[in-house]
Structure 1
Amino acid sequence: MWGSTRAEITKLVRRPASWLLLAVAVVLSLTFTYLVPYAGANGTADGAPNATRGIAQTLPDQLVGNSIGGLPVFAGAILLILGVLAVGGEYGWGTWKTLLAQGPSRLTVYAGKIAAVALASLAIVLALFAAGAVTSAAIAAAEGAPAAWPSVVDLLAGIGAGWLMAAMWAGLGVVLAVALRGVALPIGLGLVWLMAVQNLLSAIAAPLLDWVAKLQEWLPGPNAGSLAASLGSSPDTPGVATLVGDGHAVAVLAGYLILFVGIGGLLLRRRDII
């Protein structure tokens, strides 16, 4: 399995799309978590989203919440695309047969892909934390504010929670890619769910229908938002809201991750490659 994992990591590292997704995730996180609120606090972005959060919310002590706040929605979409590309690309290029002809079994190759995607998800989360740390330190220095950093325990908890959310969304991308045997349709359907459907359910259906409100407690997006909120993410961030406890959220997200990975492996093993 290590050989397959190493090969998949090499493919992800050498694929320009992987670096583009990383760059987009970092830029979006910095823009909406730090730059827009900072500009708004200085009166240069009146009326912009999050412009009223204030400088205090961009300082180092808010690093954990700020770094993972995007994962329930827009950064989660980046991870979903990463998962689709890592697996669905083999269908688009017609390379599954070539890959499997080298000797490893389907599940060995699949396990290597899952491991590579998990490590790539961790790398993106760490990049979000690193970029946030540099930006918040710069803002604190510019404003002459104290740089009170989160404790090591809080940082590790935030990184772990971020990795869980990121891996779960990437897992959804993987299972969609295997189920639909491609790239374009899985990305399209995944983004429709993540960016539109779950937000419509939260904003429109849940306040009107009790069963939808109860269903929200078991859906991946609301649980990711609840976990982010429990670690300090701003409730002004799209998708972030406290609906369930952090223990419930962790259990549900871990369950979805296992479910997505398991279904993807089962479909890949039992169905024809093309």
Structure 2
Amino acid sequence: MTDLIACTRAEFARLRRWPAFWIILGTWIVLNLVFAYLFNYLAYATGSSMRMSNGQPRAILLQQMLPAAVPEVFTQGMAMFGGALMLVLGALVTGSGYGWGTWKTVFTQGPSRARVAGGTVLALAVVVVALVLTAFVVDTGVAAIIGTVQHQSLALPGAGRSLLGILTGAVILGMWTLAGAVIGVLARGPALAVGLGLVWVLVVENLLRGVASIFAPIRAITDHLPGTAAGSLAGAMRTISGEPTPGVLDILSRPASFVVLAVYIVVFAVAMMWLLHRRDMA
């Protein structure tokens, strides 16, 4: 346990000194604010039907920008765009270990591979939870400002609703982060891992779901892909009518989505640690 904690602390020390780490996290926070609030507020304030707001009525736009809607709104971009960024982060974290030669150095001089891999998984888990909490707080603050300016209710979402939104975000982003970590280990480098991951998230799954719509036999598979489960879990948070965010689906129920994503999280974590433990570093 002491070695595991030491490995986790060492991983944190590496991450916090790594500019790419902060750039990815900061990019997600900014994109979250831009797509969830900036474009919608511009469309609401000007009364125009902007493409980025999907032409939704002003009343719906305002409702989505108030504090009570934060648990729903801040999870909508996680299924695709937020997931893609966190997949890149996971791929960079593990893939760079091969590119920089740090895995080889640590495994030959430090603790066991299992503890090093476990420390990496724990560090990524803490990062995901911290990012989700930060996004929730930032979104709540921005929504409160908008509500004050527009003289609307500043009522906060219920505790249960808030916890559900935070849990939803942590599960979605955690799954994508570990998916990227596995790809980074498989590819033994960050560049190929990032490319493969983004192609899967942004292209392959959408194509497979399109094929499933005309070829029913593969629907059982496409309905349980990582992106489908993540999109369905984000979709289960929606209570306000309007056009859904890209990647947000309603294929699986909330319990089914949680189960599928939990299975993926366990499989990805175990696969990453097993590959690091069994494969040669050369």
TM-score when normalising by structure 2: 0.92
Structure 1 residue 45: Cα displacement = 5.7
Give 2:232's aligned residue: 226
Secondary structure of the 2:157 match is coil
- How far apart, in 1, do the equivalents of 2:141 and 2:218 lie? 41
Cα pair distance change 1:116/1:45, threshold 3 Å: farther
**1:208 alignment counterpart:** 214
Q: Which amino acid aligns with 1:253?
A: L
Secondary structure, in 3 states, of the residue corresponding to 1:73? helix
CA distance in 2, matches of 1:2, 1:183: 25
Amino acid paired to 2:33 = L
Q: Deviations over 1:35-72 (max 9, x none)?
A: 11111122376332225342111111110011111111
State the distance in 1 between where 2:201 and 2:52 align: 20
Corresponding residue to 2:77 among 70, 75, 79: 70
Aligned twin of 1:180? 187
Preserved contact between residue 36 and residue 48 of structure 1 (Cα < 8 Å): no
Alignment of 1:1-274 (within 5 A): 1-43=4-46, 46-53=49-56, 54-202=61-209, 204-232=210-238, 236-274=244-282
Unmatched 5+ stretches in structure 2: none
Normalising by structure 1, we get a TM-score of: 0.95
For residues 257 and 35 of structure 1, the distance between their equivalents in structure 2, rounded to whole angstroms, comes to: 33
Distance, in Å, in 2 between the alignment partners of 1:212 and 1:235 is 27
- Provide the rounded CA distance (Å) in 1 between the counterparts of 2:221 and 2:65: 33
- CA drift at 1:253: 0.2
> How many residues were matched structurally?
273
**Alignment CA distance shift 1:270-1:43 (3 Å):** same
Which range moves more in the overlay, 56-65 or 232-241? 232-241
Q: Residues 115, 241 of structure 1: CA spacing in aligned structure 2 closer, same or farther, 3 A cutoff?
A: same
State whether residues 74 and 135 of structure 2, in contact with CA within 8 Å, keep that contact through their aligned partners in structure 1. yes
| CA positional deviation for 1:124 | 1.4
Contact 2:98 2:104 in 1 (8 A): no
Separation in structure 2 between the aligned mates of residue 117 and residue 104 of structure 1, nearest angstrom: 19
Flag the 1:235–1:258 CA change in 2: closer, same or farther, 3 A. Answer: farther
Q: Root-mean-square deviation (CA), in Å?
A: 1.5
* Runs of 4+ residues deviating >6 angstroms: none
8 Å CA contact retained: 1:62, 1:232: no
Distance 1:270 1:127 in 2: 36
Q: Which amino acid aligns with 1:49?
A: M
